Structure 1
């Protein structure tokens, strides 16, 4: 379904109908279907809401509005429109930075925060050459496949997942592809995340080359004092596709503990 919010159209998928919802926010290059395998493991216990960020998947692609605050406002509009009264935010990579900003505002109904290989709240420091490389990484099938094999993953993906990543990465609007490395990645939300007051877990792939464990230990964990890290052995950055069953188990245990409080 599509929801009009914050001046644009946001596409989302839903599964399940339980009292607690998981709101899933995807990575730079992905879409709501990045979460399909994880959602399939959890939809019998929770309501699953997975969105396409503006400029990605089947959402609208306005000319501008790709800062973290804009992406957060889009997701907040979805949550409000759906009337979610109890929910857990689950954000992957870029979606993790968006989830941090939403959680920092202490919205009513938010019960927990799951940060999957998240981009840290501090600015990502890249050289101009690295920034240009990242901005063009999703320009062709060949460049995407190189990034999958040499940057994004540590485990071998099956052919269907590889093709899905290629399709989703190519489909992104040019302005969305440019905005993350040139704008949103450089934003500093460290002051905001100190306000996060819900239970938080950080799930990181042992071999993640994008948002490395060492980076998260210095740039994220000290700024969200209640956050606890879980490491998935032998996995890279694309945990929802590399290790969906393991990720679903970690999320399921975390949310079950929240419900038991």
Structure 2
């Protein structure tokens, strides 16, 4: 379905049902489809909401508005339009940085945060040459295949999954591709994330070359001290595609604990005034 929010038409993929919704935000290079193999393992118990960021997938691509705050506003608009009363944010890489900013705003209804190979809240500083390389990484089929094989993955993707990554990366608008290395990656939201107060789990690939385990331990975990980290053995940056069953299992376990905590809180006696 399409939702008009923040002046932009955002494409949203929906499936499943349940009182608790999972709102999935994809990585730089992906789309809502990136989450399909994770979401289908969870849709029997939860409502699934997966968005295409502006400029990606089937969403509109305005000329500007690609800061982390803009992407966060888009996602919050979708959440409001769908009237989600209880939800958990699940953000991957760039989508993880967006999810952190949303969670820092402490919106009504947010019950938990899942960060999958997230970009840390601190700026990622690249040289001009590195930035140019990243900006051009998704320019052609050949360049995307190189990035898949040498940067993004540690495990081979099956043919259909690989083709999906190529299609999604090629489809994105040029301004969306440029905005991450030129703008959003360099943004500093460290002060904001100190306000995150919901249960948080971080899922990191052992062999991730983009958002490395050591980087997350240094730049993310100290800023969200209540967050728990799970490291996926042998996985790279695209864990939702490389190890979807493992990602879904960790998310399901996290949600079970959330539900238990909510039930315990509901059963506590209300103190007398």
2:264 alignment counterpart: none
2:227 alignment counterpart: 227
2:256 alignment counterpart: 256
- Deviation, 1:181, is 0.3
Aligned length: 261
Provide the secondary structure at the position in 2 that maps to 1:102: helix
What are the residue-to-residue correspondences of 1:32-43 with 2, within 5 Å? 32-43=32-43
What are the residue-to-residue correspondences of 1:124-163 with 2, within 5 Å? 124-163=124-163
Provide the secondary structure at the position in 1 that maps to 2:240: helix
1:180 alignment counterpart: 180
Deviations 1:168-220 (A, max 9, x none): 00000000000000000000000000000000010000000000000000000
**Normalized against structure 1, the TM-score is what?**
1.00
What are the residue-to-residue correspondences of 1:1-261 with 2, within 5 Å? 1-261=1-261
- Deviation, 1:244, is 0.3
Which has the larger displacement, 191-200 or 124-133?
124-133
Deviations 1:53-89 (A, max 9, x none): 0000000000000000000000000000000000000
In structure 1, C-alpha distance between the alignment counterparts of 2:255 and 2:133, rounded to whole Å: 38
- Deviation, 1:225, is 1.0
In structure 2, C-alpha distance between the alignment counterparts of 1:219 and 1:33, rounded to whole Å: 28
**Normalized against structure 2, the TM-score is what?**
0.95
CA RMSD of aligned residues (A): 0.4
In structure 2, C-alpha distance between the alignment counterparts of 1:95 and 1:256, rounded to whole Å: 23
In structure 2, C-alpha distance between the alignment counterparts of 1:159 and 1:50, rounded to whole Å: 23
In structure 1, C-alpha distance between the alignment counterparts of 2:177 and 2:58, rounded to whole Å: 15
2:265 alignment counterpart: none
In structure 1, C-alpha distance between the alignment counterparts of 2:230 and 2:88, rounded to whole Å: 17
- Deviation, 1:162, is 0.5
- Deviation, 1:126, is 1.0
Gaps in structure 1 of 5+ consecutive residues:
none
Provide the secondary structure at the position in 2 that maps to 1:145: helix
Provide the secondary structure at the position in 2 that maps to 1:41: coil
In structure 1, C-alpha distance between the alignment counterparts of 2:15 and 2:203, rounded to whole Å: 23
- Deviation, 1:248, is 0.1
**Hey, which bits of structure 1, 4+ residues long, moved more than 3 A?**
none
In structure 1, C-alpha distance between the alignment counterparts of 2:63 and 2:71, rounded to whole Å: 14
